[in-house]
Structure 1
Amino acid sequence: MTDDEQLFTELAELLRPRLEPPPEVLDAARLAFGWRDAELARLVEDSLLESTAGTRAGGTGPRLLAFESGEVVVELQIDGRRVVGQVDPPAEVELELRAGAPDGPGALLATGRSDALGRFVLHVPAGVQLVTLGCTYPDGTGFRTSAVRL
């Protein structure tokens, strides 16, 4: 083996760990692939929008939102950094709260599971301004909400 070949071999060995994507990148790719078939739930109510139309006195208090996906409605109450919600019809679903828009895998902020009545509470870390909520049923079907600015 020539000196140049030896140098290239050693260089390839040094760079090999950097050729593998970091685990968090692989996790995000798997999530994006898994959510590609998840339906995007449609925003049907937002108290913030209603307050600008003058229907909500003063615009104070928690923000109330409702998203619809087929026959399912998920209602959210955002109060500071706390998200209280309910899935209707009631069901136990896996929940993922992510930073950013639904078209890309944002950082995972919180996970949880709704109870038998569809109720749940999730907490948003400080500094996060935009979130999406993903709901997955035991059969693997699910939906995600459009992005919500806190």
Structure 2
Amino acid sequence: MIGEEEVLSSLREFASRHDPVPPAVLAAARASLAWRNPDAALAELIRDSAASRLIAVRGGGPRLLTFLGGSLTIDVQVTTGSSGTVEVVGELAPALPARVVVESPGGTYETAADPQGRFKITGLTSGPVRLRCEPQDEGGFAPVRTEWVQL
């Protein structure tokens, strides 16, 4: 009689040979576990200009995103350059200095928001990303991370 473990092992081997998981999916799954921060509030995407029909009619241009998490609002402008790299320019409200990290399966990109809450990150690649914001001063706001969005 064949045991349950032998059947599962045989099915895993068959699936890995005939329908392997794409490397980008595996990298994204591993990265999402590595970046988990249960203490950070989740910022929800509340506005995305890509969802607007008017933007599609007018053609290209920067994509505007707004996230809301706890007491923090994160406004982001996303621009794709001619070389395919992505630039993210953003602003935090309330305006406070903070550490801002863009997380993606390809790596992390870190910068600092100035005292007016402004930040900029260049050289990103298209794909799934999320932002993580941590205040530099105690009492500014609770750490926040956005939901994943496709750039």
Q: Tell me the TM-score range normalised by the shorter chain.
A: 0.5 to 0.7
Equivalent residue runs for 1:1-150 within 5 Å: 29=34, 31-32=35-36, 35-51=37-53, 54=54, 57-80=57-80, 81-99=86-104, 106=105, 108-126=107-125, 128-138=126-136, 139=138, 141-150=142-151
**TM-score, with structure 1 as normaliser:** 0.66
C-alpha contact 2:70 2:142 (8 A) present in aligned 1 = no
Aligned-pair CA distance for 1:124: 3.8
What is the rounded CA distance, in whole Å, between the counterparts of 1:143 and 1:60 in structure 2? Answer: 30
CA distance in 2, matches of 1:125, 1:69: 23
Q: RMSD of the alignment, in Å? A: 2.2
Q: Number of matched residues?
A: 112
Q: Percent identity?
A: 29
| TM-score under structure 2 length normalisation | 0.66
Report the Cα offset of residue 93 of structure 1.
0.6
Deviation at 1:125, TM superposition (A): 3.2
Structure 1 gap segments, 5+ residues each: 1-24, 100-105
Give the aligned residue type for 2:114. Answer: D
- Larger-gyration structure (1/2): 1
Q: Cα deviation per residue 1:49-96 (whole Å; 9 max; x = unaligned)?
A: 113xx4664242000000001222100000011000000110101011
